[in-house]
Every structure is written in C-alpha cells, then in structure tokens.
Amino acid sequence: MSGINQFDNILPVARLKIAALDSCLDFAAKVDQYLVNFRRKANTQHRDNIHFQEYAQDSYLVKCSCPRFGTGEAKGRYEESVRGSDLFIMVDVCNYSLTYTVCGHLNHMSPDDHFQDLKRMISAATGKAHRINVVIPFLYEGRQHRRTNRESLDCAIALQELQNMGVSNIITFDAHDPRVQNAIPLSGFDNFQPPYQFIKALLRAEPDLKVDNEHLMIISPDEGAMERAVYFSNVLGIDLGMFYKRRDYSTVVNGKNPIVAHEFLGDSLEGKDVIIIDDMISSGGSMLDVAKQMKERGAKNVYICCTFGLFTDGLAMFDEYYEKGYITRVVTTNLNYRPAELLEKPYYLEADMTKFMATIIDTLNHDTPVGRINDPTKKIRKMIAKHSI
C-alpha cells in the first residue's frame, strides 16, 4: 500500500505529532520520512482549508527527552507544544543498548526503565494533546499474559495503567497472546502482523524458492504459534507441520519449565524447504533445536521467520548452526533493537516495517478502518503469483 491519495477529502483527527523516545529514534526517523512523502501529494486541493494547514510538514517528530538525575530518577519533557495534536508516542522496550548512571554506576536500560519513560512522556502530554496513542511494537510484559499459580499479571496491569493515564489507542505487533487486550475492553488495541514483509524479504533474498506443496512446508515450532502458521499455510497454499514441546513440569529453570523433547506432527519433509514461523526468538535454543530436527528429517533449507529477534544469549549458537547447515536464513523485523553484529551475519534478513508503520499511523490519524491494511492476503498472493512466473 503506497499510502498516497487514499485519504483525499478525509479530515485528520487533529494535527499529527510523533514523540519518539531514544530507544527507537532511527526507526521513527524512517517512519517520519514516509509520512512526509505520503502527505506531500495527498489533499493538495485543501491546503487553504484551516483544517489542513499543518497537514503537510517537513517532519512530524517532536523534540522530547527523559533526562535523569544522579540518583537514576528521571522526568519526561517536551521541547515544543503538543497541545491539540494527535500524539503518537513510540518506544522500544527491548533496547538494552541505552545506558544511564546511578550514583556513578552504569546501568543498561531494562524494559521496566523504558516503560517508566513512556509513562513520563504520557504524563507530560496529558491534558494538552487532543489524543494520545502509544506505539509499543514489542508489548511490554506480553509474555506474562496469564496467571499460573501465585503469579503477577504484569501485562494486564501495564495496559490498565496506560488506559488510566488517558491513552486512547495502543498499537503493537504480534502480541504473544492478543487476548490480553481483554484487560482494557473499552480502549483501542490494535495488534498488527508482518507476514507480507516476511515473504517479501525472503523471496527477494531467495529468488529460486518454489512456493508450492511439492517444495515448501510451513512449520509451527509449538502449539502457541499455530495460528500464525495456519495463516501462512492457507495464504501460500502449502502444507503445515507442527512441533509440540514436552516439558518437565516438576522443575523451573529461568522462570520456565524446561523442554524435554520436541515431537513432530506432519508429512514427510524429505527434500522440501521449510519456513518456521513464530513471534520471537528469545535465547533461540528451542528454535534451533526445531531447525536441527527439520534437517535430520530430510529438509533441504530451513528458513526462520520471527517478528522479534531478541537473541538474549548472543549469536554464537546461530553462527554454529549456520556453519553446520542447519539453518539457511533468519528473518526478523526492525521493530526492536538489533546489535550491529547481527546485521552483518550472512544468514540474517531484515523485514522492514517502517513503511507499514507509517501507513498505520496515517490511517489512525484519519480515523479510518485499519482492517484493509491488517489483511495482506491479496498482496501476498499477488506477490507469489509474480514470483512464480
């Protein structure tokens, strides 16, 4: 979707402003440039109308910051007015590269620190902005979405905090469990998916990839990823296989029950390429184990597609598995921070989400339905048909 001229004769909710925290400045700058290009050619016939006076700008980014005191405490500050604006606050809670000093000691920012800064920026704008929207691609505490025994419900509490602070819409991507939005049933919660960007990046890098039942299969690494895998399977018109994890529920390691074994359900993989779909790569251990078992079952090439590449235990295992031929490509989006080392790896592919994000923001600012931009089925099938020629 180009984003150009689709909103002709449609009034925006209010003038658009984007407050990007330090955690996502580079990403936000690319999104901003797309928005500038979108609006340069849209609604040109209304430029004399008072409602469109600030429609086309050289930039929609607002200067803002969260300076810290020597104790590690901080405050949110806007360096220009956001009064009456449709404000989109962007944050990457996974950006561990940022640091701050506490009484002379260096600390890396955690998701908790980023979320607190997000609330500071909301607080600084409350009562001034016409509407506040939060763009939080990796949903804060999204993995702690349900209660097992005596546990906290961190994600639900965080969403309720944002609602109580006056946030109208929350925009996230590939939430670990989108049902967590039930915690805020009266607020806007949009959960977007990146399948089109995955397929686009993969086909560009692998022009010889054959998308048919004889040569390709979609794999769900566990039961939690089945919905994503089923969608890919149906859109691409190819078979689906699934692994399920046998866990040792008698012990807990790093907050999780350790995986005893992966069991596979599906047709023969002999000579086929496989695409493994999931929402995130954390340490990557279970994903790599699945990839290895794919190869041992006769798979030709193993492509891993995950929305968020966190790589919490580093890249050494991925390097090893690539050298051994267990994996061919690892595709993740640029929605979260990735170290420069990863971007240089021969197996890594980036699914660029900046244009899609700009289209989402533009759509919400015009208060029009997001359904058509969140359903890429036609675009994927068109791309596959072109690729197959």
Distance CA 174, CA 258 (A): 24
At residue 184's C-alpha, the angle toward residues 178 and 187, to 5°, is 100
The percentage of residues in the chain with a pLDDT greater than 90, rounded to a whole number, is 62
Given pLDDT bands bounded at 50, 70 and 90, which one contains residue 318?
very high
Confidence check: pLDDT of 215 > 70? yes
Distance CA 143, CA 166 (A): 24
pLDDT tens string 326-372: 999 999 999 999 999 999 999 999 999 999 999 999 999 999 988 87
Distance CA 141, CA 60 (A): 29
Per-residue model confidence (pLDDT) at position 228 = 86
Confidence check: pLDDT of 248 > 70? no
Confidence check: pLDDT of 239 > 60? yes
> What mean pLDDT do residues 254-269 have?
74
Confidence check: pLDDT of 257 > 90? no
Strands 216-220 and 240-247: parallel
Distance CA 258, CA 247 (A): 6
CA distances, 69 to each of 92, 106, 115, 121 (Å): 22, 13, 18, 16
The percentage of residues in the chain with a pLDDT greater than 70, rounded to a whole number, is 95
Cα 119 vs. chain centroid, distance in angstroms? 20
Distance CA 329, CA 204 (A): 12
pLDDT tens string 100-115: 999 989 999 999 999 9
Given pLDDT bands bounded at 50, 70 and 90, which one contains residue 1?
very low
Distance CA 240, CA 221 (A): 11
pLDDT tens string 218-227: 998 887 788 8
Query: What are the beta bridge partners of residue 85?
Result: 15
Distance CA 30, CA 356 (A): 11
Please choose, from the candidates 197, 138, 141, 130, the residue with its C-alpha nearest in 3D space to the C-alpha of residue 168.
Answer: 130
pLDDT tens string 131-147: 999 999 999 999 888 88
In DSSP notation, 4-34 reads SSTTTT---SSEEEEEE-GGGHHHHHHHHHH
Per-residue model confidence (pLDDT) at position 4 = 45
pLDDT tens string 54-95: 888 999 999 999 999 999 999 999 999 999 999 999 999 999
Report pTM: 0.91
List of residues 6+ apart from 174 with CB closer than 8 A: 191, 192, 193, 194, 228, 279, 280, 307, 308
